[in-house]
Amino acid sequence: MNRRLIITASAMLIIGISAGYWLANFHSETHDVKHTVSKIKAQEPLFYRNPMNPQITSPVPAKDSMGMDYIPVYAEDDRADETAGTVTIDPVTVQNMGVRTVQVKRDVLSHVVRTVGRVGYDEEKIVRLHPKVEGWIETMRVDKTGEKVFEDEDLLSIYSPQLVVSQQEYILALNNLKALEQSPIEDIRRGADELVSSSLERLRLLDVPEHQIHDLTRDHNIHKNLHIHSPASGVVVNIGAREGQFVTPTTELYMIADLSRVWVYADIYENELPWVRKGDLVRMQLIGIPGRDFIGHLAFIYPYAEAKTRTIKVRLDFNNEELLLKPEMYADVTIYASQQASALVIPAEAVIRSGTRDKVLVARASGKFEPRSITTGLSADGRVIVLDGLEEGEQVVTSSQFLIDSESRLREATAKMMHPGTREEEEPGPLQLEQLPHEHN
Contact (Cβ atoms closer than 8 angstroms) between residue 149 and residue 233? yes
Q: What angle do CA 375, 368, 405 make, to 5 degrees?
A: 55
- Average per-residue pLDDT for the chain: 80
The Cα 24–Cα 15 span in angstroms is: 14
Q: Say what the pLDDT of residue 82 is.
A: 56
Closest of 271, 248, 255 to residue 142, by C-alpha: 255
Closest of 122, 124, 126, 129 to residue 155, by C-alpha: 129
pLDDT tens digit string along 230-276? Answer: 999 999 999 999 999 999 999 999 999 999 999 999 999 998 888 89
pLDDT tens digit string along 346-402? Answer: 888 888 887 778 888 888 877 778 888 888 887 777 888 888 888 888 888 888 766
Q: Say what the pLDDT of residue 39 is.
A: 47
Q: Which of the 8 DSSP states describes residue 436?
A: S
The Cα 368–Cα 386 span in angstroms is: 22
Contact (Cβ atoms closer than 8 angstroms) between residue 155 and residue 230? yes
Contact (Cβ atoms closer than 8 angstroms) between residue 255 and residue 236? yes
Q: Which residue has the higher pLDDT, 413 or 257?
A: 257
Contacts made by residues 254-257, CB under 8 angstroms, sequence distance 24+: 254/127, 254/128, 254/129, 254/142, 254/155, 254/230, 255/126, 255/127, 255/128, 255/129, 256/126, 256/127, 256/129, 256/149, 256/230, 256/231, 256/232, 257/121, 257/122, 257/125, 257/126, 257/127, 257/327
Question: Is the pTM of the predicted complex or chain greater than 0.85?
Answer: no
Average pLDDT over residues 2-21: 60
CA distance readout (Å), 108 to 275, 338, 340: 13, 12, 7
Q: Say what the pLDDT of residue 186 is.
A: 78
Q: Say what the pLDDT of residue 281 is.
A: 94
pLDDT tens digit string along 133-164? Answer: 999 999 999 999 999 999 999 999 999 999 99
- Please, which residues have CB within 8 angstroms of residue 178's CB and are 6 or more apart in sequence? none
Q: Say what the pLDDT of residue 151 is.
A: 92
The Cα 133–Cα 118 span in angstroms is: 38
The Cα 118–Cα 114 span in angstroms is: 14
Q: Say what the pLDDT of residue 426 is.
A: 47
Q: Say what the pLDDT of residue 14 is.
A: 65
Closest of 379, 340, 338 to residue 358, by C-alpha: 379
Q: Which residue has the higher pLDDT, 250 or 88?
A: 250
pLDDT tens digit string along 100-131? Answer: 888 888 888 778 899 999 999 999 999 999 99
Q: Say what the pLDDT of residue 338 is.
A: 78
High-pLDDT (> 90) share of the chain, %: 33
- Please, which residues have CB within 8 angstroms of residue 2's CB and are 6 or more apart in sequence? none
Instruction: Tell me the longest C-alpha to C-alpha distance in the chain.
Output: 181
pLDDT tens digit string along 416-438? Answer: 555 555 444 444 544 444 444 55
